[in-house]
Amino acid sequence: MDEKTSKYMERIHDANFDMLCEVDRICRKYDIKYNLHGGTFLGAVRHKDFIPWDDDVDIGFVRAEYERFLEVFEKEAPEHLKLMRPEDYTTFYDFMVKIANTDVTYAATNFGADDFYDGRFLHPTMDLFVYDIKKSNFQLMKLKALYALALGHRPYVNYGHFKGAMKAVAFVLSSVGKMVPFKKIAAWYKKVQVEGGALEMTEGAGLPTVFVSNEQMNPKYWGLTFFGPCVLNGYDTGIIRGREFPVPKLYDRWFSFVYGDDYMSFPPEDKQWPQHVYDLM
């Protein structure tokens, strides 16, 4: 990264650490179980800090803990941390609930026009991933269909992201989706997510198959199932800026499955770049 990017990444990491510490405080107060997820999880293990070029925060909850967190966050969090639920917007990006730190504002993002998604990505954000029970492959198919319906509520759809017959299916479903209120689609999506029941922290044999039910943007992770004990049998500890945070157990197995056996190696230099932002105000 060049010097300018390195300097604004310091500001973004300050904002991200603020969000993470506040979420950790709330979860500890209410005994809500969560863990670092995605790049934040990898950073806590590989770098003992944020990944230098990672510009957002990822955390995960099993369904029961996630619902408890959403119930208490807004009454506990400071005003500058804004909870963003997809159903509260007229335009659709994905089904991920996020927290934005409004103390830092981006001048430009990799999403295109600043107001393309109602300006919701103009601040550093934390993604809240939810672990649900995978009931069947048909459940995943229904989630994909509902995601395609929701695309009808995007200002623009790049059908180049779809291949073969899926391009035609996405076009038809998104066209139909324009005529269905987005809040209704979001409610249907939630209903399918929990078809297997509300996942809880449960130790012992007979653990259910676990998947992240609100990850749609990267086909690599769509419907990706995790080894149950990683998230259901308590946590290990990762380090961000010298502070301990909970991470899934058996993380070598987790990382090898998600990123490959060389997960401790850095990506090529041209990949060491912020994903969401390229300028700050």
- 242-255 confidence digits (pLDDT tens): 999 999 988 888 88
Q: Are residue 126 and residue 148 in the same domain, yes or no?
A: no
Q: If we measure between CA atoms, which residue out of 205, 214, 258, 238 comes closest to residue 61?
A: 214
Burial 251-260 (b: 16+ CB within 10 A, else e): beebbebebe
What pLDDT does 220 receive?
66
What pLDDT does 82 receive?
96
Banded pLDDT at 264 (limits 50, 70, 90): very high
Residue 78 included in any domain: yes
Banded pLDDT at 90 (limits 50, 70, 90): confident
What pLDDT does 251 receive?
87
Q: If we measure between CA atoms, which residue out of 250, 234, 27 comes closest to residue 128?
A: 27
Residue 77 has pLDDT above 90, yes or no: yes
- What is the C-alpha separation between 236 and 253, in angstroms, rounded? 13
Banded pLDDT at 205 (limits 50, 70, 90): low
Residue 36 has pLDDT above 70, yes or no: yes
Q: Are residue 39 and residue 164 in the same domain, yes or no?
A: no
**Length of the chain (residues):** 281
Is 222:145 a contact under the CB 8 Å cutoff? no
Full domain range(s) for residue 165: 135-195
Residue 206 included in any domain: no
Mean pLDDT, rounded, of the chain = 89
What pLDDT does 116 receive?
64
pTM of the model: 0.93
Q: Are residue 18 and residue 48 in the same domain, yes or no?
A: yes
